[in-house]
Amino acid sequence: MENTLKIAMAQISPVLLNKNETLKKVEHSIAEAGKKECELIVFGEALVPGYPFWLALTGGAEWNTKVNKELHAEYVRNSIQIESGELDSVCELAKQHNIAVYLGIIERAKNRGGHSIYASLVYINEVGEIQSVHRKLQPTYDERLTWSPGDGNGLKVHSLKQFTIGGLNCWENWMPLPRAALYGLGENLHIAVWPGSDHNTKDITRFIARESRSFVVSVSTLMTKELFPKSTPHLDKILENCPEVLANGGSCIAGPDGEWIIEPVLHEEGLIIQEIDFNRVYEERQNFDPVGHYSRPDVTKLIVNRERQSTVEFND
């Protein structure tokens, strides 16, 4: 049994712009996965309190508009400040159910002043300890209007049974050097989190699996027009041009040979559970290992800065 790991992909929707209600859904999913004896549960990108779908629907790049400012303020208000204990209940549930957690949040980072926000991927181990907080290195396109760029501090891997697990947010998974950093740390189970939709997951999931000869677990959220809470600021303007489906899911798993174990699952909310066998990693590394026998560090080498960035340094 040490060779195997039982994984739950929590493909759920947020209660958009409501961190408390969304955290309740997260906690319910953890408890459900724990009862089913899962050992790892993964949630999508920015799940708490949701992805900023409104930016593309409300003229998000316009300067000094009431709509943009009020929506942004609501987003910041409902972001997570880890240092204030806002994930303590999630950590306690992880400990209670002996389950590790990867959770996508919007983080209001205290060490950066507490007003800007980051798309962060948090890893909580099976005894309820936060082991890493990876702030997305480069927000994509309209995300840059609301999220700040992160740093390399969270480029870390974690041991879970025989597996070595690492993770990246959304289009970071297309960045070759962050992937290489995780490979170099011994990653053999890669976690990719997404706001949703199979157009994101259907190609890159298998590509990373084949490149790294690792398991790749891609987990997405769901979002439809009808799920916008009635309390959402400027809801009428958001809904004017809103499609019926904003995120259709697409959570999936590829094996170390790059073939599907679970093909992208669409329009289904809930837990998707799969057991994986570590021996498959050794089998596929026989012919290719990107940081082992099939590497040339004497020719090419990557340097990674994992310092947590801050504007000031105090010498008290």
Catalytic residues: 45, 136, 170
Return d(Cα 154, Cα 133) in angstroms, integer.
Answer: 5
- DSSP assignment of 42-91 equals EE-TTTBT---GGGGTTTTT-TT-HHHHHHHHHHHHTSB-GGGTTTHHHH
Any idea which residue has 């290992």 for tokens?
Answer: 289
Residue type for 128, please? G
Return d(Cα 118, Cα 61) in angstroms, integer.
Answer: 18
| Closest to 189 in 3D by CA, of 212, 223, 214, 209 | 214
Using alpha carbons, list the distances in angstroms from residue 223 to 201, 240, 249, 314: 16, 16, 8, 43
Helices then strands, counting H and E runs in the chain, come out as 7, 13
Residue type for 38, please? C
Do 232 and 15 touch, CB atoms closer than 8 A? no
Strand 245-254 and strand 215-220: the pairing is antiparallel
Return d(Cα 215, Cα 190) in angstroms, integer.
Answer: 6
* Other residues' Cβ atoms within 10 Å of the Cβ of residue 131: 15
Instruction: Report helix, strand or coil for 158.
Output: strand
Return d(Cα 119, Cα 104) in angstroms, integer.
Answer: 7
